[in-house]
């Protein structure tokens, strides 16, 4: 049998005969960054970066959109772990929010390409990407909602529509984070202060509204 007959049809000399799903994700991450969205990638480009034939891509993903959604989900999971650890170290609602904001901005500056995917694709990606980002933000909202209810109950305080409060805070922080990518690092302290103040105003307003309601 000639050597070419023993090779898979989609394998060419110099290319890897097999590749893992994680290798394709890593290849895509190498191609994107603060100034390039995953929505601009092509399947052939990712395959070339991963050193495989384009046909091998389909062993792990249906198309480039499915790869992008996987990246968004990974970024959400990674950030939730990091922010979750910060929340556990905080003692009250204000410190939880500030700790989360500080960690969030630190990750933006850490050249965290997964986080950049999460921030960029919510506004610049396809409908599928935006839906995936919205799901990830929903997870953040659920976790923050639980923390706010728990802490305010322990302090004998009430929040007007705590789920809406959690949504407002989450969407605010992510929107500001998306702009922070392009801002100079020197503005980080100012941004953290500004965001913390905005969040405190949201919390204070929700508590004031709750106090006006008949008990």
The pLDDT averaged over each successive group of 10 residues in the chain (215 residues) is 40 59 91 76 91 90 90 86 72 70 82 74 74 90 89 88 94 86 88 92 93 75
The per-residue pLDDT for 24 is: 93
Tokens of 44: 């052939």
The per-residue pLDDT for 90 is: 63
Tokens of 81: 């772990």
Phi, psi of 33 (to 5 degrees): 180, -170
Residues 84/143, Cβ–Cβ less than 8 Å = yes
Sign of the Cα torsion 45, 59, 79, 154 reads: positive
Judged by DSSP in three states, 36 sits in strand
- 33: which strand partners? 36
Residues 108/63, Cβ–Cβ less than 8 Å = no
């Amino acid at each position: 049998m000639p050597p070419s007959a023993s090779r898979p049809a989609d394998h060419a000399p110099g290319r890897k005969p097999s590749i893992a799903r994680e290798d394709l994700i890593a290849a895509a991450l190498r191609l994107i960054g603060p100034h390039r969205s995953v929505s601009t990638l092509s399947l052939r480009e990712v395959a070339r970066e991963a050193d495989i034939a384009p046909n091998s891509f389909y062993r792990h993903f249906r198309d480039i959109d499915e790869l992008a959604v996987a990246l968004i989900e990974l970024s959400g999971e990674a950030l939730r772990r990091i922010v979750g650890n910060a929340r556990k170290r905080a003692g009250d609602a204000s410190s939880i929010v500030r700790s989360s904001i500080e960690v969030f901005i630190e990750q933006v500056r850490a050249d965290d390409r997964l986080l950049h995917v999460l921030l960029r694709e919510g506004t610049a990606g396809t409908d599928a990407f935006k839906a995936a980002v919205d799901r990830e933000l929903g997870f953040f909202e659920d976790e923050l909602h639980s923390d706010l209810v728990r802490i305010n109950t322990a302090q004998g305080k009430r929040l007007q529509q705590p789920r809406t409060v959690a949504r407002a805070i989450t969407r605010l922080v992510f929107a500001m984070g998306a702009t922070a990518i392009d801002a100079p690092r020197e503005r980080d302290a100012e941004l953290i202060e500004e965001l913390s103040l905005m969040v405190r105003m949201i919390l204070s307003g929700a508590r004031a509204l709750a106090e006006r309601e008949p008990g």
